[in-house]
Structure 1
Amino acid sequence: MLSSLAETRARARALLPPEVWDYYEAGSGEEVTLGEAEDSWRSYRLRPRVLRDVSRVDLTTRLLGTDLASPFVVAPMAFHALAHPDGECATVRGAGDAGCLTVLSTRSSRTVEDVATAATGPWWFQAYLMRDRGLTEALVQRAAAAGATAVVLTVDTPYVGRKDKVSGVRFAVPDDEYLVNLAQHLVPGAVGRESAEQDPSMTPDVVARLAEVAGLPVLVKGVLRGDEAQRCVDAGAAGVVVSNHGGRQLDRALSSAHALPDVLDAVQGKVPVLVDGGIRSGTDALVALALGADAVLVGRPVLWALAADGAAGVASALDDLAGHLRHVLAVAGAARIADLDPSMVSGPLGRSPLRVT
């Protein structure tokens, strides 16, 4: 982990109420998957090139037609107002100031429109298929109208994972924040929290349906297998996010770092592939990008930075990650992300990258 991120983490822990800290940091089950996330990136080894002109290093990245200053993307996370009074409005402002894309969670503690107004950069909207599917469709339509340029459909939560640290599945957020984006769409007599729970009957047809409703490309998040990634692409997904939900869903699920090569093999460049889970340095990002990922998502470090310093903290954390990536790219002999390829990576543990059949 970058030393600056470690310092920010310590500050956030000191500032946040213990129950909020535990909610943000918790993993499901015995937290095996959570505990493996960072070490999994460190299990790879790099094979640098030499005698390359790296006097200037370019991190610019293009995702679904949007140009970004770096390949770091803010992952969708719930209830930022628990970390800072301005909530997601501060997060999106800080990310935009760093030239980065934000993925706004359905479980945002600020309205879609308020976040869109605060945005200083591009943003996507993360969707759950809720039991009342009309809620999901209304939200993605609002997000599109407010300026979101893509929808990220999370598919690894048919039920929310149990977390011992929070004595259940999530922190007890008041209704006015939990339903801030949903209350206006509830049918008369509906119980808001029940209607807003994830629909466990979701099937691949949802991908095309959301694309039609939103008029936006739909990426699918929560994929750890190549064959499942191919099913998503076949269903119309415009991109795939390799993710185990930050270790908060199925415990002992494969780490994103080790699942990534199999997904890349299956997709074969047909759509962008992004990855999250344990990215804590430019070196972690370098491994992911060299393997073939188009971008990396950063989760908890953004919340630490938000708690410690608001929007300025978010911008600083993302700038620090980009600065470190720029440095390690140069040391590895790459002047731009396009110069990377899988031949620069050996692993995990000195073996060829994992392939699952």
Structure 2
Amino acid sequence: MSGGDDTSAIPVRLEDFAGPARRALDPEVWDFVAGGSGEELTMAANRSALDRIRLVPRVLSGTGACDTSAELPGGRAALPVAVAPMAYQRLLHPEGELATARAAAAAGVPFTLSTLSSVPVEEVTALGGVTWFQLYCQRDPEATAALVRRAEEAGCAALMVTVDVPVMGRRLRDLRNGFALPPGVAAAHLDPAGARRAAERRAGTCAVAEHTAESFARALGWDELARLRDLTGLPLIVKGILDPGDAAIAASVGADAVVVSNHGGRQLDGAVASADMLPAVREAVPPSCRLLLDSGIRGGTDVLKALALGADGVLLGRPVLWGLAADGEDGVARVLGLLEAELRSALELSGCATPAEAPWLTALGAGR
């Protein structure tokens, strides 16, 4: 489905939530959520890559009821899925990240809270679910260390550092719209003065991009990742890797998990699809390093494809925001419930009793 048009009054697939979400949001907010960078070639490639993959199911496997649970960083989850880190969720619903986190907790999956969350980490972890904290390293190393300590003290189960945003990609929809945050929505973990600047609208600019350019470290190297590893005892997840060599270095520095991701097509336009790099990255890192796929997941069969290609799990992004915009916590709960039903069906039809058996499947078409 393209453009979020409804095909049914009752959602029967994740993309059925896109239409109601688009109708619920101001056009500029929809563009902020839905858009990619440049001509959005990489965003389209993410879907093309997953659509191209074909699985060879196994039969007479003796599989009965499937167990969808899986081991992820920080513990076992009901699905091999975590909610991806996504900024400023109060743009979509007044409860923002709180609504999403409650739905994730009820579904038994980790919720990843962004550095650019519109709700403080302490309020999210107080809900009792499994929370991972996504970190953008700051220009001031002490500010970075303070964010790590804050996440630890709040009770986060893992730390996810994003490494593919030296600067924010040129997101043409936001530039055309002169996108800025409305009153009442701000980055809860960053300098309030910068948040005020992020609310300034100027033609041909994106205030959010200008704010992050002021705040984020632009010249990160592997030594910074090593220092971050020394700074925390939490499981360390490195998000935003596509090159197998980079994945191998991340594992050698001490990453507990790597997220193969092109940021949902929102950074370098023309970058390779995440799914196409998954097999090579799996070969490059040791089995002890867990592998997650991000960018383009739209259903349970996509999750199974990722598992068959060597991932331990996936991050689910935009569909969660569609559910949030459409119906708050209940909308996110329905998105995650549909994903669980789709994955359970896909596992059973492929002859897999658990997600751990998916690598036995033959997957054709990846990396072409």
Output the TM-score relative to the length of structure 1: 0.91
8 Å contact from structure 2 (residues 18, 319) kept in 1: yes
Q: Residue by residue, what CA displacement relative to the aligned partner does 1:73-130 show, whole Å, maximum 9, x if unpaired?
A: 1000100000010111111111111111111100000111111123x42010000111
Aligned to 2:73: 64
Aligned to 2:265: 247
How many residues were matched structurally?
Answer: 344
8 Å contact from structure 1 (residues 135, 182) kept in 2: no
Question: What amino acid is the match of 2:111?
Answer: T
How far apart are residue 54 of structure 1 and its match? 2.2
Report whether the alignment pairs 1:271 with 2:279: no
Distance 2:103 2:116 in 1: 19
Secondary structure of 1:95's counterpart equals helix
Q: 1:293 to 1:196 in 2, by over 3 A?
A: same
8 Å contact from structure 1 (residues 84, 310) kept in 2: yes
8 Å contact from structure 2 (residues 166, 218) kept in 1: yes
How far apart are residue 9 of structure 1 and its match? 0.8
Aligned to 2:198: none
Question: What amino acid is the match of 1:124?
Answer: W
Aligned to 2:150: 142
Distance 2:178 2:222 in 1: 27
How far apart are residue 214 of structure 1 and its match? 3.2
Secondary structure of 2:105's counterpart equals helix
Q: 1:168 to 1:214 in 2, by over 3 A?
A: farther
Secondary structure of 1:318's counterpart equals helix
8 Å contact from structure 2 (residues 58, 361) kept in 1: no
Q: 1:200 to 1:238 in 2, by over 3 A?
A: same
Distance 1:170 1:178 in 2: 17
Report whether the alignment pairs 1:223 with 2:241: yes
Question: What amino acid is the match of 2:326?
Answer: A
Aligned to 2:84: 75
Report whether the alignment pairs 1:305 with 2:314: no
**Structure 2 residue aligned with 1:52, among 52, 61, 71?**
61
Q: 1:170 to 1:233 in 2, by over 3 A?
A: farther
How far apart are residue 322 of structure 1 and its match? 1.2
How far apart are residue 143 of structure 1 and its match? 0.9
How far apart are residue 174 of structure 1 and its match? 5.2
Q: 1:313 to 1:170 in 2, by over 3 A?
A: farther
Q: 1:154 to 1:58 in 2, by over 3 A?
A: same
How far apart are residue 180 of structure 1 and its match? 2.1
Aligned to 2:122: 113
8 Å contact from structure 1 (residues 241, 274) kept in 2: yes
Secondary structure of 1:27's counterpart equals coil
Secondary structure of 2:126's counterpart equals helix
8 Å contact from structure 2 (residues 115, 187) kept in 1: no
Distance 2:176 2:27 in 1: 16
Report whether the alignment pairs 1:17 with 2:35: no
How far apart are residue 194 of structure 1 and its match? 6.8
Aligned to 1:158: 166
How far apart are residue 184 of structure 1 and its match? 7.7
Q: 1:303 to 1:170 in 2, by over 3 A?
A: farther
Secondary structure of 1:212's counterpart equals helix
Structure 1: runs of 5+ lacking an equivalent: 187-191
Report whether the alignment pairs 1:123 with 2:123: no
8 Å contact from structure 2 (residues 12, 338) kept in 1: no
Q: Residue by residue, what CA displacement relative to the aligned partner does 1:290-330 show, whole Å, maximum 9, x if unpaired?
A: 11100100100000001111112112111111110110111
Question: What amino acid is the match of 2:144?
Answer: T
How far apart are residue 176 of structure 1 and its match? 6.3
Q: 1:65 to 1:165 in 2, by over 3 A?
A: closer
Distance 1:185 1:68 in 2: 38
Aligned to 1:260: 278
Report whether the alignment pairs 1:41 with 2:59: no
Q: 1:104 to 1:171 in 2, by over 3 A?
A: farther
How far apart are residue 230 of structure 1 and its match? 0.6
Secondary structure of 1:54's counterpart equals coil
Question: What amino acid is the match of 1:10?
Answer: G
Q: Residue by residue, what CA displacement relative to the aligned partner does 1:118-165 show, whole Å, maximum 9, x if unpaired?
A: 3x4201000011112222211111111111011111000111101110
Secondary structure of 1:232's counterpart equals helix
Distance 1:212 1:173 in 2: 35
Output the TM-score relative to the length of structure 2: 0.88
How far apart are residue 169 of structure 1 and its match? 11
Secondary structure of 1:10's counterpart equals helix
Question: What amino acid is the match of 2:91?
Answer: L
8 Å contact from structure 1 (residues 130, 195) kept in 2: no
Aligned to 1:98: 107
Question: What amino acid is the match of 2:28?
Answer: E
Distance 2:364 2:13 in 1: 27
Report whether the alignment pairs 1:329 with 2:347: yes
Question: What amino acid is the match of 1:4?
Answer: R
Question: What amino acid is the match of 1:113?
Answer: E
Aligned to 1:189: none
How far apart are residue 72 of structure 1 and its match? 1.4
Structure 2: runs of 5+ lacking an equivalent: 2-10, 195-209
Identical amino acids, percent of aligned pairs: 44
Q: 1:229 to 1:157 in 2, by over 3 A?
A: same
